[in-house]
Amino acid sequence: MSDGLPVPAPGGATAPSSLAWQRVHPVTPLVKGWLVLVVVVLGLLRSTAEQGDGDGARFALHHLAWVLLGIAAIVVVAGTYSWLAWRVTAYAIDPDAVHMRSGILFKQHRKARLDRIQAIEVRQPLAARIFGLAEVKVEVAGGDGSGVSIGYLTERTAQELRADLLARAAGLGAPSSGGKQAVAAPADGTDAKHAPDAVTSAAGPGPAPTLHATEAPEQPLFEVPSGRLVASTFLTVEAWVLVLVVAGAVVAAAAARTPAVLFSFVPVLIGLGSALFGRFNRSFAFRAATSPDGIRLRHGLTETRAQTIPPGRVQAVELVQPFLWRRFGWWRVHVNVAGYGREANAKGPTTVLLPVGSRAEATTALWLVLPDLGTADPLALLGEALDGSGPSDAFTAAPRRSRWLDPVGWRRNGYAVTARAVLARSGRVRRRLVVVPHERTQSLGLEQGPLQRRLGLASFVLHSTPGSVHPEVPHLDARDARVLLDEQSVRAREARSQDLSERWLQPPGARA
Amino acid sequence: MTDDAPAVRAPGDPFDPPGLEWSRVSGKLVTARLVPSLTTVGLLAVVGAVVALATGAAWVWVFPTFFVLLALWLLWLVPRQVHAIGYAERADDLLIRKGIMFRTLVVVPYGRMQYLDVQRGPLTRALGLASLQLHTASAGTDASIDGLPAEVAERLRDQLAARGEARLAGL
């Protein structure tokens, strides 16, 4: 059906014809577009009902037939379009990459290299859960929206696809262990290029020619009890603002002696409430585990997600303790993963490694990312990094004169360097620690404003991939900052040259 | 030594370490930056003067005077800004420094460069200039060098790309 349109092969040099294309599940358009459909239908019905107000129900009834006909027409058109779109939406896996093609008029063929996979997520929005479907999102390091979303698939296919992708990305080639149906599996990954060219496009969502890798065994590490999650949600600034707004609305309504005033507060309440609920919804039933494939995270109330972040993919870690959490000793842990970007919208990936947890759990989360902190006594160092202030053996702190620029938190500002990572400590009210492994440093910078210059201070910045973590050490002594910049560029270079995290399970000798 | 001692400026300047040879950008960049900004400011000054003459009110002369002062300030500032831009090629990374009041220094390792852009606008092309921008996987890396002579930009791009190729690491 694509014959009529001169579509340039977007893959360029790749030969997509030799790939075994698999279709996604036929229910996909319904799951993706149900909300639009509902809105259109409701909108039409409502406008009919409003028209009926004046001339009575007879008028509305007369028009109802036309409205129903209109809805039917929309359903037919949308259905045909969706069916056509579904026909051209397909995915395929070859030894080096995962391919996804879609689009009727504007065709897209996206190829994500397996050795560049940064994370894999199995996402199940509420509508998809009803049908037992799931979407597999493969994040590669290309900035926001560069990943490949394969969906929707049946839950089982999605799990198998994830395991298969991870096994291939890990450098295991075509896994032979699962092998209950070696459909298109060559004996080893090296000549999978000569896999059967059978384009199983007519097979529908049936058994995919994936290799059915057995899922790597995992070891649970921590989970977040819902009670603590609720408590921590209420112990945030947003929650207090919400309470204040509600109180203000009630007082205003009482003063004006009319409940109508309450309605003017509705937008604010909805905004704040949805932000809070969104955070709660995502972090609900948060569980973390470790496996040879990397970090496994499962969470979500209405929409469940299962994230897998392979080893060495985390670019930076941040441990934060908001002021209200201090007496409970809770911490939140965020990570930067290339391709994740900022946590911009509800559909975007979650950058949280631990929504709320004890200090021990936060330390475990850090250990997940960086098993070896590169120091003899990691616990002592972390203790100093989380609660400590001022200079010490490990930490170089900001000088006393920086109190002019940061009167509250200047004692906490400082850094420590271990054999594996930089630890940047800051914040007295809201305590913060950022850890960046040496081999994940992108570029480095120094910044100095006019006041800093007078005081002989400079801020040191580590540029990490886009995300919620921004590693920097503010207001250091200018000479310290300079020394750190020079030494860190050497350390980063050395660490990079020994970094072997791509194809992480492949023996080093087998690397190209 | 007390911690509060005033900063020693010259010897310990973190933005000008010894043993580094800084390359400066072309002085023509002053023209390239001044022409558009002075044109705008000059037009606004003319408009202000016309309005002042038309109305005849003395206080309206505040506006053209302001724009003339702004133009003088730009004439003083931009050459200094351009002079403050510098870059240095080291064995494994490129250093770029900028700014007078708010100074920044960026170190970009060659192995971290994802791609390089050479950009030329109509005015910069007429002056034989080009700007080179380095991109890493981080959006925070603000590594661009404006006002390179075109052939230097091309040479630098090829040279940096070759070095990046040799040292390319994963993310």
Q: Best interface-test mutation with A: which of B3, B20, B141, B171 has the largest number of A CBs within 10 A?
A: B171
Looking at this protein, which amino acid is placed at residue B126? A
In which band, very low, low, confident or very high, does the pLDDT at A213 lie, cut at 50, 70 and 90? low
Query: Are residues A442 and B106, on separate chains, in Cβ contact within 8 Å?
Result: no
Least confident stretch, A72-76, A133-137, A298-302, B150-154: A72-76
Distances (CA, A) of A400 to A415, A434, B15: 15, 22, 22
The pLDDT score that the predictor gives to residue A430 is 92
CATH 1.10.1740 fits A17-174, yes or no: no
Least confident stretch, A43-47, A97-101, B144-148: A43-47
Tell me how close the Cα of A478 comes to any Cα of chain B, in angstroms: 6
Burial B112-137 (b: 16+ CB within 10 A, else e): bbbebeeeeeeebeebebbbbbbbbb
List the single residue in A444, A453, A496 with the smallest CB-CB distance to B169: A496
Query: Are residues A445 and B92, on separate chains, in Cβ contact within 8 Å?
Result: no
User: Any chain A CB within 8 A of the CB of B136?
Assistant: yes
Query: Are residues A401 and B171, on separate chains, in Cβ contact within 8 Å?
Result: no
> B24: how many CB neighbours lie within 10 A of its CB?
13
Which positions in chain A touch B137 (Cβ < 8 Å)? 141, 338, 442, 465
In which band, very low, low, confident or very high, does the pLDDT at A504 lie, cut at 50, 70 and 90? low
User: Any chain B CB within 8 A of the CB of A487?
Assistant: no
Could you give the angle at the alpha carbon of A120 between the alpha carbons of A119 and A121, nearest 5°?
125
CA B106 to chain centre: 13
* pLDDT exceeds cutoff 80 at A171: no
In which band, very low, low, confident or very high, does the pLDDT at A423 lie, cut at 50, 70 and 90? very high
Q: Which residue has the tokens 């460069």?
A: B113
User: Any chain B CB within 8 A of the CB of A50?
Assistant: no
List the single residue in A444, A465, A501 with the smallest CB-CB distance to B137: A465
User: Any chain B CB within 8 A of the CB of A437?
Assistant: no
The pLDDT score that the predictor gives to residue B39 is 94
The answer to whether the bond into A91 is cis (omega within 30° of 0) is: no
Average pLDDT, chain B: 85
> A72: how many CB neighbours lie within 10 A of its CB?
10
Which positions in chain A touch B115 (Cβ < 8 Å)? none
List the single residue in B14, B104, B171 with the smallest CB-CB distance to A479: B14
- Per-residue pLDDT averaged across A478-487, rounded? 91
The pLDDT score that the predictor gives to residue A184 is 36
User: Any chain B CB within 8 A of the CB of A121?
Assistant: no
Q: What is the dihedral of CA B21, B25, B26, B32, to 10 degrees?
A: -170
In which band, very low, low, confident or very high, does the pLDDT at B32 lie, cut at 50, 70 and 90? very high
Tell me how close the Cα of B169 comes to any Cα of chain A, in angstroms: 7
Least confident stretch, A14-18, A129-133, A463-467, A492-496: A14-18
- Answer with the residue of higher pLDDT: A187 or B77: B77
DSSP B90-102: -SSEEEEEE-SSS
User: Any chain B CB within 8 A of the CB of A397?
Assistant: no
The pLDDT score that the predictor gives to residue A143 is 58
Which positions in chain A touch B9 (Cβ < 8 Å)? 456
The pLDDT score that the predictor gives to residue A9 is 41
User: Any chain B CB within 8 A of the CB of A416?
Assistant: no
Q: Best interface-test mutation with A: which of B100, B107, B116 has the largest number of A CBs within 10 A?
A: B107
The pLDDT score that the predictor gives to residue A393 is 87
The pLDDT score that the predictor gives to residue A503 is 61
In which band, very low, low, confident or very high, does the pLDDT at A225 lie, cut at 50, 70 and 90? very high
* pLDDT exceeds cutoff 60 at A190: no
User: Any chain B CB within 8 A of the CB of A326?
Assistant: no
* pLDDT exceeds cutoff 80 at B67: yes
Distances (CA, A) of A472 to A27, A338, A476: 47, 18, 10
Distances (CA, A) of A385 to A374, A405, A470, A477: 15, 21, 17, 19
Which positions in chain A touch B91 (Cβ < 8 Å)? none
Q: Which residue has the tokens 């210059």?
A: A453
- Answer with the residue of higher pLDDT: A257 or A154: A154
List the single residue in A338, A463, A481 with the smallest CB-CB distance to B141: A463
pLDDT tens by residue, A348-407: 667 889 999 999 999 999 998 888 888 888 889 999 999 988 888 889 999 999 999 999
- Answer with the residue of higher pLDDT: B9 or A421: A421
Which positions in chain B touch A144 (Cβ < 8 Å)? none
CB contact set of B17 (below 8 Å; sequence gap of 6+): A482, A486
Least confident stretch, A156-165, A254-263, B63-72: A254-263
Q: Starting at the edge strand that comes first in sequence, how are the strands of the sheet with B103-109 ordered?
A: A472-477, A457-463, A443-448, B103-109, B93-98, B86-89, B23-24
List the single residue in B15, B103, B138 with the smallest CB-CB distance to A465: B138
Burial A303-312 (b: 16+ CB within 10 A, else e): bbbbbbbbbb
User: Any chain A CB within 8 A of the CB of B109?
Assistant: yes
Q: Which of A368, A374, A373, A371 is nearest to A353 (CA)?
A: A368
In which band, very low, low, confident or very high, does the pLDDT at A250 lie, cut at 50, 70 and 90? confident
* pLDDT exceeds cutoff 70 at A344: no
Least confident stretch, A78-87, A251-260, A384-393: A251-260
Going from N- to C-terminal start, the domains of chain A cover: 17-174, 225-283, 312-497
Which positions in chain A touch B17 (Cβ < 8 Å)? 482, 486
Nearest 5°: phi and psi at A184?
-115, 25
Query: Are residues A445 and B106, on separate chains, in Cβ contact within 8 Å?
Result: yes
Nearest 5°: phi and psi at B57?
-80, 135
Query: Are residues B136 and A442, on separate chains, in Cβ contact within 8 Å?
Result: yes
How many Å apart are CA B61 and CA B41, to the nearest integer?
15
Tell me how close the Cα of A490 comes to any Cα of chain B, in angstroms: 9
Asked casually if ipTM beats, i.e. exceeds, 0.90, the reply is: no
* pLDDT exceeds cutoff 90 at A313: no
The pLDDT score that the predictor gives to residue B105 is 92
Q: What percent of chain A has pLDDT over 90?
A: 30
User: Any chain B CB within 8 A of the CB of A493?
Assistant: yes
Tell me how close the Cα of A365 comes to any Cα of chain B, in angstroms: 21
Nearest chain A Cα to B169, which residue? A496
DSSP B111-165: GG--EEEEE--HHHHHTTEEEEEEE-S-TT--EEEEEEEHHHHHHHHHHHHHHHH
Token pair, residue A350, equals 């979650």
> A254: how many CB neighbours lie within 10 A of its CB?
11
User: Any chain B CB within 8 A of the CB of A501?
Assistant: yes
In which band, very low, low, confident or very high, does the pLDDT at A207 lie, cut at 50, 70 and 90? very low
Q: What percent of chain A has pLDDT over 70?
A: 81
- Per-residue pLDDT averaged across B31-40, rounded? 93
Query: Are residues A456 and B143, on separate chains, in Cβ contact within 8 Å?
Result: no
List the single residue in A450, A454, A482 with the smallest CB-CB distance to B7: A454
User: Any chain B CB within 8 A of the CB of A338?
Assistant: yes
Token pair, residue A12, equals 């360029």
User: Any chain B CB within 8 A of the CB of A144?
Assistant: no
Q: Which residue has the tokens 């934060």?
A: A320
The pLDDT score that the predictor gives to residue A17 is 57
- Per-residue pLDDT averaged across A421-444, rounded? 92
- A·B CB contacts under 8 A: 119
In which band, very low, low, confident or very high, does the pLDDT at B33 lie, cut at 50, 70 and 90? very high
Nearest chain A Cα to B101, which residue? A450
* pLDDT exceeds cutoff 90 at A422: yes
How many Å apart are CA A446 and CA A147, to the nearest integer?
32
Least confident stretch, A263-277, A330-344, A398-412, A415-429: A330-344
Tell me how close the Cα of A442 comes to any Cα of chain B, in angstroms: 6
Query: Are residues A493 and B109, on separate chains, in Cβ contact within 8 Å?
Result: yes
Tell me how close the Cα of A464 comes to any Cα of chain B, in angstroms: 5
Query: Are residues A492 and B109, on separate chains, in Cβ contact within 8 Å?
Result: yes
- Answer with the residue of higher pLDDT: A185 or A464: A464
- Answer with the residue of higher pLDDT: A51 or B148: B148
Of chain B residues 139-158, which have a CB less than 8 A from chain A? Answer: 139-143
Average pLDDT, chain A: 80
Instruction: Answer yes or no: pTM beyond 0.90.
Output: no
